[in-house]
Copies of this chain bind each other. A is one copy, B any other.
Amino acid sequence: MEKKTPHVVIVGAGFGGLAVARSLRNAPVRMTIVDKTNHHLFQPLLYQVAMAGLSPAEIAYPIRAIVRKQKNVTVLMEEVTAVDLERRVVLMGERELAYDFLVLAAGAQTNYFGHDDWMPYAVGLKDLDDAVEIRRRVLVAFEAAEREEEAGDRAKLLTFVIIGGGPTGVELAGSLAELARHALASDFRVINPSSAKILLLEAGNRILPSFPEELSERAVRQLERLGVQVRTGALVTGINRDGVQLKGGEFIASSTVLWCAGVSASPLTKTLGVPLDRSGRVLVEPDLSLPGHADAFAIGDLAAFLHQDGKLLPGLAPVAMQQGAFVAEAIEDTLAGKSRKRFRYVDRGSLATIGRSAAVAEFGRVRLSGFTAWLAWLLIHIFFLIGFRNRFIVFFDWLWSYLTYQRGARLITGHRMDPGAPVSGKPES
């Protein structure tokens, strides 16, 4: 009697999900990748789309094209709404898909910590639609300021508040400062875009808390050189169409507020019936499987995994990729009747960019900042982009921007509305 080929269902085609599919390319399995979008998104560069430097297509690649030659993979563009671990099926609305092994790699979403009413006024940055919406709001604010005659309203339009001092907040703040000071500087007749006020608010006592303290300080200095005001210990207690309320009573009038203060796991984890942490992440076993379900795994932003040093692994691409490769191996081991290993993360370093020739980097004991860190950041990001076309065009766009101080994608598209108006964050969602 012939044995049926085991079916591996991978939910999500981010760094983790794709690593699983690639690592299993020669394994005796068939796979189905289910993703609600049609593309893999290179999230580390998403902030550059939001700041008009890159086009959406330059950092995204069709999932189907990525796995075109891998004949054991099927791709479904559909949203997984729930998982039934007992019956071993994933649900997509009314439709079901049975699995022998399941890898949950659906990633994270913006989390307002119970303040979903802030969402219309403070966009998060998790997908291309978010990025294009941020780009629209930022560029529209400058346009509206140009025609605004009342000084207070104009100042409000030219005040940008970025909440959250992690890598995304730092990158957005630096890039926004450069947009205002270089790309837009000579393009207006009434306002002076360089005078825009850019505030980076962090509730904790330092920005980039996952980096060594020394690099946090250097990042602050690099941001301040660009004109960003960095404020730590700034706890946000309210956001509305007029601006941001801080604990202690201060109110910052602003038309454009960006939210980089938190993410939580995809709500899919809530349907699993397994223990989750506060951010909705699954408390996975040492082999990344779900407690009590050796045939199902959670990786990347969906998994709460304690690092060997006792800290929770951060939501970074290298973590997801290593976990994806590990889970592929665990599935192969299981099929071969071998016992599974325990996952161990190899930290190869972390990077955050601040602006033109400015970044911070940590590779083990080596700590870099300024131009060297920026160059390392640039090369690593080009290298990891998928597809020759994207690598080439992103490289060209960066070179062109570096030489001309311009941005290649200064487009206002999508919804047309007043900044500050109570808008739904995204079409339909």
Residues of A at the B interface (CB closer than 8 Å) are 36-39, 55-58, 60, 62, 64-65, 68, 74-78, 95, 128-129, 132, 139-140, 143, 146-147, 184, 186-189, 388-389, 392-393, 396-397, 400, 404, 406, 408-417, 427-429
Contacts and interface: CB of A to CB of B under 8 A. Distances in A.
A347 to B, nearest CB: 33
Closest 6 CB pairs of A and B: A64-B187, A57-B409, A55-B55, A77-B143, A38-B412, A62-B410
Contact of A414 (B77, B129, B393, B408): B129
Given A389-B400, A392-B396, A393-B396, 9 more contacts: A39-B411, A55-B57, A56-B413, A60-B411, A65-B187, A68-B186, A129-B414, A389-B408, A416-B428
A424 to B, nearest CB: 10
A295 B413 CA distance: 33
Contacts of A65: 187, 406, 410
Given A39-B410, A389-B408, A408-B57, A188 B428 contact: no
Contacts of A37: 412
A222 B410 CA distance: 37
B77 A412 contact: yes
Contact of A413 (B129, B392, B396): B129
A409 B129 CA distance: 15
A55 to B, nearest CB: 4
User: Most B CB atoms within 10 A — which of A57, A64, A143?
Assistant: A57
A267 to B, nearest CB: 16
A123 to B, nearest CB: 15
Assembly stoichiometry (copies): 2
Nearest to A400: B389
B400 A415 contact: no
Nearest to A76: B147
Contacts of A76: 146-147
Contacts of A410: 38-39, 57, 62, 65
Contacts of A393: 393, 396-397, 408
B412 A428 contact: no
Contacts of A408: 57, 389, 393
B412 A414 contact: no
A132 B38 CA distance: 14
Contacts of A77: 140, 143, 146-147, 412
Contacts of A397: 389, 393
B143 A38 contact: yes
A428 B413 CA distance: 12
A188 B67 CA distance: 10
Nearest to A185: B68
Nearest to A132: B413
Contacts of A95: 147
30 contacts: A38-B139, A38-B411, A38-B412, A39-B412, A55-B55, A55-B56, A55-B57, A55-B58, A56-B409, A56-B411, A56-B413, A57-B408, A57-B410, A64-B184, A68-B187, A76-B147, A77-B140, A78-B147, A95-B147, A128-B413, A129-B414, A132-B413, A389-B404, A393-B397, A393-B408, A396-B396, A414-B414, A414-B427, A416-B428, A427-B427
Nearest to A429: B416
Contacts of A428: 415-417
